[in-house]
Amino acid sequence: MLVLREVRTPYEDSFVSWSVPPRLMDQLWSGAWWFLGTTFFRQNMIAWRGKPAELLHLRIALSRFQLSPSQRRIVRRNRDLQVILRQPVVDDERRQLFDRHKRRFAEGVPEALDDFLGPAPGVHPVPGIEFDLRFNGRLLASSYVARGENSLASLYGFFDPEMADRSLGIYTMLLEIAHARRLGLRYYYPGYALSDASCMDYKKRFWGLESYEWDTGWRPFPRQIGGV
């Protein structure tokens, strides 16, 4: 049986678990734990561009979320796409799209999609959902989320770089948020960003954000102006 340790530490910690109950998963996310595959970890620093960088753990209180004007434009821009919710799968079509997408980044991306999701992302370590976006049958974007009892967490999303003008990364996040609200969930976890400016700053531009402080827990985080 997995027991959550009541620890608040700024240092890296980890464990491995094949299965976590949904209510305990909520507690782990609320304690700044994250997972790749079946490996769980919490940390407040990573190496970024050759230097230590402070992680910013974020979540969205869904009761306070609202669309910004530019996010509404993104939704309208992509209404011609087919949205498919399904059991998560990792196959050659998605691996090839992931490989094209990861070329946009210089660091911080695992070698393979399987490294993010593990061998059975639909059921282990918690139930998962996949969002696919298609146009005339062509896969343009996929994103994967994990479900707790009262929370939904974004594990990873990727899209065709040729379609960057559609803002598909933001669009899949908005679809995930809308799905979480339909389910009556309390929180959406978009994953961490960096305290300093980085390519992950798009996660700081949503209404209803909270950030995790190691000594005091969660507190409101001011939405960044600009972008979406």
CB atoms within 10 A of CB 71: 21
Q: Which residues pair with 194 in a beta bridge?
A: 55
- Cβ within 8 Å of residue 96, ≥6 positions away: none
Integer CA distances (angstroms), 211 to 56, 59, 118, 120, 197, in order: 7, 7, 27, 30, 15
Three-state DSSP class for residue 81: coil
For position 118, what pLDDT does the model report?
81
Q: Which element (helix H / strand E) includes 228?
A: none
Cα–Cα nearest to 128, from 140, 119, 141: 119
- Residues paired with residue 129 on neighbouring β-strands, in sequence order: 145
* pLDDT tens per residue, range 51-61: 889 999 999 99
Band the pLDDT of 226: cuts 50, 70, 90. low
pLDDT, tens digit (0-9, with 9 covering 90-100), for 17-53: 999 999 999 999 999 999 988 999 999 988 888 888 9
Smallest CA-to-CA distance from 31 within 153, 130, 178 is with 153
Predicted confidence at residue 51, as pLDDT, reads 86
Q: What is the pLDDT of residues 79-124, one digit of tens each?
A: 999 999 999 999 999 999 999 998 877 666 667 888 878 888 888 8
* Residue 137 identity (one-letter amino acid): G
- Phi/psi region, residue 133 (left: phi>0; alpha: psi -120 to 50; beta: rest), is beta
pLDDT digits (tens, 9 = 90+) for 180-200: 999 999 999 998 999 888 888
- pLDDT score recorded for residue 109: 67
Report the C-alpha gap between 177 and 186 in whole angstroms: 10
Query: For position 93, what pLDDT does the model report?
Result: 96
Tell me the domains of the chain and their CATH numbers.
13-220 (3.40.630.30)
pLDDT classification of 126: cutoffs 50, 70, 90: very high
Residues 6+ apart with CB under 8 A from 70: 227, 228
Crossing angle of the two packed helices 168-182 and 69-77, in degrees rounded to 10: 100
Dist. CA 70–CA 68, nearest whole Å: 6
- pLDDT of 6 over the 50 cut: no
As a whole number, mean pLDDT of residues 143-155 equals 96
Going by their DSSP bridges, the two strands 187-189 and 151-159 should be labelled as parallel
Name the average pLDDT for the chain: 90
Q: State percent of the chain over pLDDT 70.
A: 92
Cα first-last separation, the chain: 42
Q: Does the pLDDT of residue 154 top 50, yes or no?
A: yes
Peptide bond into 121 cis (omega under 30): no
